[in-house]
Amino acid sequence: MKITQLALRQVRNQFAHEYPDNPTERFERLQVATQAARQLLVVVEKFNQKIQAI
């Protein structure tokens, strides 16, 4: 699953500004944030590879 820049922003905003009381909803948001973090790590790795190639 590839996450767009807009989707990453939405995840960040939900995680940083909204605090659901429902444990299930908190867990679901944490899972989405974890997936977004994985995608960001892929982006950072590709960025590092390009920098090292220069």
Contact status, residue 39 vs residue 11, Cβ threshold 8 Å: no
Q: Is the overall model pTM greater than 0.85, yes or no? A: no
Tens-place pLDDT, residues 2-50: 667 888 788 888 777 777 888 998 898 888 889 888 988 998 999 999 9
Contact 51, 23 (CB under 8 A): no
CA diameter of the chain: 48
Looking at the chain, the number of H-run helices and the number of E-run strands are: 2, 0
Q: What is the rounded CA–CA span in Å between residue 8 and residue 24?
A: 21
